[in-house]
């Protein structure tokens, strides 16, 4: 029998365990709600439960499995499976790899979700065949990952590939402030004009072009009296990617303007990635891109094509992710496959 692998995508709202063949095909999956609050133990139990249920539902035992990979939304040390921090859920400080290995009797690899989403696209999605792939996922935030020659690039402290937090709008005031005053400190030099990011810094790509940023700009437009099909939203209402697409299809002036802006910002992000890493493929994914890529991709391409810095001709490209919701779990399984 062919070997099967399990990849688990642990998200803030759901845990999805995929049964994956060694060619990347998803054979079955099990979805559960992520437990809200409580001790980290509750979340670890839910991950274990999703794996055991997947096995049970497919008449398999752990002996039929070649390996398990787990993707978590946070900072992970892949070598040890230690979760340093997960800002939106309670797995911070958990030895997730070691605990699950002990409970399940099989080695368990753990990685960051966006890194593994990129790895999934690299092995089985729109980046297959390329030597280097950068994934940029535009949703509530902007996540990303870097895969070169099949390896996820983690950096010195497992923090590389946070393209969403590259500072795109420099929040430092004009140089003239320094004239006749060499004692100005950093806090005096920072302007509040650059939007604040979820990470705490100002001017990140995520603060300018994520779904959260798009929502903020739409609210600004509505508050200043611009008419839109999106109206009557209170502060708690989330403007989902599907609503953005419907507004674009209705030629809504406000949403069209905001989405053009966000697309150009993402285009500048792609350009920055080009100049830093020059990957063969930049894969764009996440809820906003999945819903609105027909509108956004030509605008993103327009910015990248406008690059004035000459480079050698090559087959590099910018493309839309293929694996959708499965990318992260498939990438988690691929992490296991690669290590075999």
Where do contacts with Zn ion occur on this chain (CB under 5 A)?
Answer: 165, 197, 199, 201, 204, 206
List C-alpha distances in Å: 9 to 20, 124, 227, 254, 330: 13, 16, 39, 35, 9
Q: Which is nearer to Zn ion, 197 or 296 (CB)?
A: 197
Query: Are the C-beta atoms of 297 and 129 separated by less than 8 Å?
Result: no
Q: Would you list the DSSP string of 166-194?
A: SBSS--B--GGGGTT-TT--HHHHB-S-S
Strands 4-10 and 14-21: antiparallel
- Taking the complex as a whole, the smallest distance from the CB of residue 318 to Zn ion amounts, in Å, to 22
- Taking the complex as a whole, the smallest distance from the CB of residue 206 to Zn ion amounts, in Å, to 5
Q: Which is nearer to Zn ion, 165 or 293 (CB)?
A: 165
Q: Which is nearer to Zn ion, 198 or 287 (CB)?
A: 198
Q: Which is nearer to Zn ion, 204 or 337 (CB)?
A: 204
Q: How far apart are CA 39 and CA 325, in angstroms?
A: 27
- Taking the complex as a whole, the smallest distance from the CB of residue 160 to Zn ion amounts, in Å, to 15
- Taking the complex as a whole, the smallest distance from the CB of residue 330 to Zn ion amounts, in Å, to 27
Q: Which is nearer to Zn ion, 19 or 217 (CB)?
A: 217
Strands 65-72 and 4-10: parallel
- How many angstroms separate the first and last alpha carbons of the chain? 17
- Taking the complex as a whole, the smallest distance from the CB of residue 103 to Zn ion amounts, in Å, to 35
Q: How far apart are CA 316 and CA 271, in angstroms?
A: 12
Q: How far apart are CA 141 and CA 298, in angstroms?
A: 22
Q: How far apart are CA 213 and CA 231, in angstroms?
A: 17
Q: Which is nearer to Zn ion, 30 or 144 (CB)?
A: 144
């Amino acid at each position: 029998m062919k070997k099967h692998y399990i990849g688990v995508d642990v998200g803030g709202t759901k845990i999805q365990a995929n049964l994956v063949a060694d060619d990347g095909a998803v054979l079955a999956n099990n979805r559960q709600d992520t437990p809200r609050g409580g001790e980290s133990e509750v979340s670890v139990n839910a991950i274990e439960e999703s794996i055991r249920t997947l096995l049970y539902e497919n008449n398999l035992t752990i002996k039929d499995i070649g390996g398990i990979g787990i993707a978590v939304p946070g900072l992970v040390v892949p070598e040890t499976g230690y979760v340093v921090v997960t800002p939106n859920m309670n797995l911070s400080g958990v030895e997730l790899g070691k605990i699950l290995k002990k409970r399940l009797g099989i080695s368990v690899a753990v990685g960051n979700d966006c890194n593994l989403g990129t790895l999934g696209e690299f092995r089985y999605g729109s980046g297959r065949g390329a030597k280097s792939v950068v994934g940029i996922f535009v949703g509530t935030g902007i996540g990303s990952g870097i895969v070169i020659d099949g390896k996820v690039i983690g950096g010195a402290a497992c923090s590389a590939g946070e393209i969403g937090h590259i500072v795109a709008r420099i929040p430092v005031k004009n140089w003239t402030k320094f004239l006749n005053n060499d004692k100005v400190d950093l806090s005096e030099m920072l302007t509040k004009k650059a939007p604040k990011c979820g990470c705490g810094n100002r001017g990140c790509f995520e603060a300018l072009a994520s779904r959260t940023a798009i929502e903020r700009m739409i609210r600004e437009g509505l508050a200043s009296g611009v008419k839109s099909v999106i109206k009557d939203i209170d502060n708690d209402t989330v403007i989902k990617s599907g609503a953005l697409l419907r507004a674009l299809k209705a030629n809504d002036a406000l949403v069209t303007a905001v989405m053009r802006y966000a697309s150009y910002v993402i285009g500048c992000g792609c350009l920055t990635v080009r100049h830093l890493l020059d990957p063969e493929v930049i894969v764009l994914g996440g809820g906003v891109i999945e819903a609105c890529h027909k509108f956004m991709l030509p605008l993103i391409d327009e910015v990248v094509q406008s690059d004035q810095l000459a480079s050698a001709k090559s087959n590099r490209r910018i493309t839309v992710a293929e694996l959708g919701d499965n990318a992260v779990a498939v990438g988690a399984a691929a992490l296991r496959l690669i290590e075999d």
